[in-house]
A and B are shown apart, each in its own frame.
Chain A
Amino acid sequence: MDVFGSFTLLLAFVCAVYAFVGGIAAIITRHPLLVKSTRQAGIATCVLIFIGTFSLEYLLFSDNFSQAYVVSHSNRDLSAFYKIAALWSGQEGSLLFWSFLLAVYVISVLIAYRHKNGELMPYVGVILAGVQIFFLTLNNFVESPFKTLANVSASGVLEPFVRMDGNGLNPLLQYPEMVIHPPNLYSGYTGFTIPFAFALAALLARYPGEKWIHLTRKWTMIAWCFQSIGILLGAHWAYAVLGWGGYWGWDPVENASLLPWLTGTAFLHSVMMQEKRGMMKVWNVWLVFCTFLLCILGTFLTRSGVVSSVHAFANSQIGPWFVSFMLLTLVVCFVAYVKNHDYLKSENQLDSMISRESSFLFNNLLFLVACIAVLSGTLFPVFTEWFTPSRISVGAPFFNKIMIPIGLALLFLTGVGPLLAWRKTSTDSLKRNFTWPLVFGALCAVLAYILEYRNAVSLVCLFLCGFVFWTIVMEFYRGGKVIAARSGMSLMMSAHELSMRNTRRYGGYVVHFGMVLIFIGLAGAAFNTDVQKTMNLGDSMKLGPYTLVLQSADTKPEKNYTAERMIVEVLKGNKQLMMLYPEKRAFQGRDQQNGTMVAIYSTLREDVYVVFAGTDPDTNLPVIHAFLNPLVKWIWLGGVWVVMGTLLALVPNRRTALVIAGATQPAASPVAPALTPSVNLREGHD
């Protein structure tokens, strides 16, 4: 099966090269048969990558310990669930997994658009094949996952060698979220290839702006959704497994996943400027290019170990390949831009500081500065090593100092932006739209103060959360009221109907609502407290309003590990709330490794987060480290809303001509009260 897998990947490489070279010939000659055959070569490439990936999974499931990859990342006792995850737990497998996910996207695009966008698709096919060639080169010639173990015999001949068992999967990765977090994050990374291919193809083919922007926007939303889920699941994994009480540590790999998310989010906003007013075309194209390059950079940082990190893989061979590919991509983008930049000329200019356009402009500026700050902070050790004799890193204070004000400013714009009119907003409309949100925001801040969340930044954050929340409620209320008046439906049903008629706009608001919840959770971080104590059985410790009692300890043998559990009772006053079981796991394998399992009692108000931190070397008693983390649950809830909002935005609009015609009347425009109809505005759903 290893030879078979290896062969399919080689064949996939050949097909990808044909799709690339033949595709260029097809663009030049415009021969229909050549166009068709290169598309089919592209589809064949994807199918062969699928077969190659399933071959590696087959080797993992059949415990084939003649294979170096299987030995390094699996063992006989590993459950089937984690044998799936073993595919992406090592360097070679994860690069194959990248190719696999990219192939899923590529085959979807090639099949879905086989009869559409005839002018554009040959270019798209060539660009996608180019990216696939790069990853298949790594899969075949640099980091092949199909390497057989061999010993040098006494006679100096290489002989195959089979191990009895494997080393097992890294304990840190043996956690359910680790099975779903990487596929999501990778689907985000790979997914941004599609908008990149459409944007570059459109630029090369000088394809009409309105068409490519629609295609690109949809695929960007899909990739963005996966990237968001991946980032949040990664944060949750760090919170629930690493046992340090936090969810975000500005680790290089975390930062790498945030970078394309920041530029992708900026693009999803600025694309509306292009749709509505024909502005920011150059900016949009470069945002898509940069997002793709940052995805490649993210993969490179994760895989190459260029920046010392808890995740990074050591001493990789792939660094120069990635750097070359990024440089080549950058050159291609730059040449395409220089050759065709006249096609990206802006059709309008900014009219006023207080307008929808300017809110988008500042939104994009902040996302870009955030991206540059995170990127420079992450690569700081690399830059300083290049340009100075020292290697200097920066830590959390650097990132927090910049990112907290940017985050708050973006939250402010989240509330303000949708209520501002295109071109120019009148003072009357400002008063009408912002009075109640400001009042509600102030009430939220007062409530937070009474509940003793007394920290300046957190209070500002909660004020803004209230402000944004009320602007969103108002948007649904006003639009819903119009539909209710015309159709006689209830307000709730009308709001639902409203959302279905303009899914992108109202899906966007649902995403904004999710972000509000996430910011509420982030505001809680200022009030985290923790206590650490060496405890005997029966001992107790105070943690805010809670009392933790170490009731007993036991040992629980499982299939692949043995867990040493502490049984901790949580009391509030004299009321028993629940039992928590923080544990240490000793994993079987060639080298015994340990893992920590945190136990969490989570409520909307706060999390009681208990870690069995180890054994005191002096007394041999267990050390319990307990954290009281307010409002963390809101982050995960917010994540769910962000995903639901994105899915809503991807649903096609329900068409109802009658009401839409009424709702766009300037005099009675409650759906978008601040929107001034203008000949400069185009069709589109914002």
Chain B
Amino acid sequence: MQNRAKFGVGIGVILVSLGFLAWMGYGESKTYYHTIAEYQQLQGSARNHRMRVSGTVVPGSIHHSAGRTDFALEEEGKILSVSYIGSDPLPDTFVDKSQALVEGRRGSDGRFVAEHVQAKCASKYEAAPGGDKPAASSPAQQSSM
């Protein structure tokens, strides 16, 4: 019985320590997924969360300027203006009409400030003529991880 208690304490200490580390890691890295419509209706502290938003790149909206790239994402008729300020070049698949997933925070002017951009080319694996359903989509490329 004494042995069992010793093992119990040992296991308890390990689990509690790892649980604490997990909680810290969760706090540091939690990111909320939102649709563009949800993002635009966020109130209070929810606006300050780290977020991921996805949408289709609006054709002609990509503008490069020194140190940043501005573009707009569209989803179900809602438009989100995004500024990418990350240091890594955008992925090769990031073009007009591609599906993009942006990760970052809300800027003070309401624009979404993205630190990471993932994109996958939507047109690559669209339904083949006569094919009854779209085949698998291509894996996305990431700008950074």
Contact = CB atoms under 8 A, between A and B. Distances in A.
B118 interface: yes
B3 A244 contact: no
A596 B92 contact: yes
B32 A72 contact: no
A390 B134 CA distance: 29
Interface in A596-630: 596, 613-614, 617-618, 623, 625
A275 to B, nearest CB: 21
Contact of B130 (A72, A150, A394, A396): A150
A400 interface: yes
Contact of B66 (A68, A167, A618): A618
B52 A393 contact: yes
Contact of A392 (B30, B130, B132, B141): B30
Nearest to A243: B141
B30 A394 contact: yes
A399 B22 CA distance: 8
A153 to B, nearest CB: 10
Interface string B102-145: 00000000000000001001011100111110111111111011
A167 B139 contact: no
A614 B101 contact: no
B10 to A, nearest CB: 7
Interface string B13-55: 0110110011011101111110000000000000000001010
A594 B92 contact: yes
A366 interface: yes
Q: Which of B7, B11, B69, B89 has the most CB of A within 10 A?
A: B89
B18 A373 contact: yes
Contacts of A614: 89-90, 92
A232 to B, nearest CB: 18
Q: Which of B25, B31, B101 has the most CB of A within 10 A?
A: B25
Interface in A341-395: 349-353, 358, 361-362, 365-366, 369, 373, 381, 390-395
A499 to B, nearest CB: 34
A147 B92 CA distance: 31
B64 A618 contact: yes
A149 B130 CA distance: 5
A394 B31 contact: yes
Given A314-B137, A399-B25, A147 B89 contact: no
Nearest to A311: B139
Interface in A177-224: none
A406 interface: yes
Tell me if A's interface is mostly helix, strand, loop or mixed: mixed
B61 interface: no
A369 B118 CA distance: 31
A595 B92 contact: yes
B130 A249 contact: no
Given A151-B129, A398-B25, A613-B89, A393 B30 contact: yes
Contacts of A593: 92-93, 121, 124, 138
A69 interface: yes
A398 B26 contact: yes
A240 interface: no
Contact of B7 (A68, A90, A358, A399): A358
B81 interface: no
A391 B101 CA distance: 14
A534 to B, nearest CB: 10
A618 B64 CA distance: 7
Contact of A242 (B21, B54, B130, B141): B141
Given A350-B3, A353-B7, A244 B138 contact: no
B89 A249 contact: no
A130 interface: no
A392 B142 contact: no
B129 A161 contact: yes
Given A151-B130, A310-B118, A625-B88, A398 B22 contact: yes
Nearest to A168: B124
Given A90-B135, A373-B22, 13 more contacts: A72-B125, A147-B131, A170-B139, A310-B142, A311-B139, A312-B139, A362-B10, A390-B32, A392-B30, A396-B145, A401-B24, A584-B92, A593-B92
